[in-house]
Amino acid sequence: MPGQASYAKASVGQFRNKYKDGEYENYNLDKKDEGNWWVAVRDEDRWMEPEAQVCDRAPFWVENGDAPPVENAVTPQVLAELAYNRVQLPTTEVTLAPAAATKVNLPTWAWLDKAQFKEVSVTAQLNAGGLNIQATTTAKPVSLKLEPGTAEARTYPASGECSINDDGSIGEPYAKGKAELDPPCGVQYLRSSGDGAFNLRATVTWQITWTGTGGAGGKLPDGTFGADQSVTVQEIQAVNR
């Protein structure tokens, strides 16, 4: 092509020598039903990471039913990791009782909405060139950590880690008649927040597992997602006679 830079001409020539006149004669058109072209594809959410930059192999041919002979070729585990990146989890916000404002030294109950905080699954599948594999990644909430936002407070339990119950819930909703009980999951503030509020941080840990084609499966790194919510703490007013 007139005006084309020398390095571009060289690149086009190398491509032609390999895919039209060389190793893959006429782009393997006479074998189009026997296999497929495979290319390197970078995760668009991680393309600036060093691992993504080395994902640069030129297109290559794989016979139907054969596994691509390269590192990081698509496998059930790779699909599981891709599905992990697509899992949509609810915003971390705990339900509190009292809800609007609590009182100094009054245990505040905390729990997660069981209807919202439940197992979430995403399935990724590849069906091409005689290769049909899939993987399902599942995120399950397993614990809730409470950080009151001030040292002048105590948590229930003392560690601040509320574990999952047998029925899959975390924490326990407050109900009438439980005022004299300590909450299984909650916080007690020892001083008022004055004219402001304390930032209660709630962090949910999600256990990540996957299953895939051929009985494959295992664990992926746990995910932890937290958020702050404001808690107003008022003094208990006493009347002196």
Same domain, 226 and 126: yes
Nearest to 56 by CA among 79, 67, 76, 72: 72
Q: For residue 154, with 0-12 CB atoms within 10 Å meaning exposed, 13-18 middle and 19 or more buried, which class applies?
A: middle
Secondary structure class of 206 (helix, strand, coil): strand
- Chain-centroid distance of CA 160 in Å reads 23
Question: In which domain, by residue range, is 10 found?
Answer: 6-72
Nearest to 99 by CA among 186, 3, 194: 186
Same domain, 65 and 96: no
Same domain, 223 and 199: yes
Is residue 156 in a domain? Answer: yes
Whole-model pTM?
A: 0.76
Q: What one-character DSSP code corresponds to residue 178? A: -
Is residue 66 in a domain? Answer: yes
Q: What one-character DSSP code corresponds to residue 170? A: B
Question: Digits of tens for pLDDT over the chain (241 positions)?
Answer: 455 455 444 556 577 778 877 777 788 888 888 888 888 888 777 778 887 777 778 888 888 877 777 877 888 999 999 999 999 999 888 999 998 899 999 999 999 988 888 999 999 999 876 778 999 999 999 999 999 999 999 999 999 999 989 888 899 999 998 888 999 999 999 999 999 999 999 999 999 999 999 999 999 999 999 999 999 999 976 544 4
Same domain, 134 and 110: yes
Is residue 241 in a domain? Answer: no
Q: Are 76 and 132 in contact (CB under 8 A)?
A: no
Q: Are 108 and 183 in contact (CB under 8 A)?
A: yes
Residue with tokens 């949910």: 204
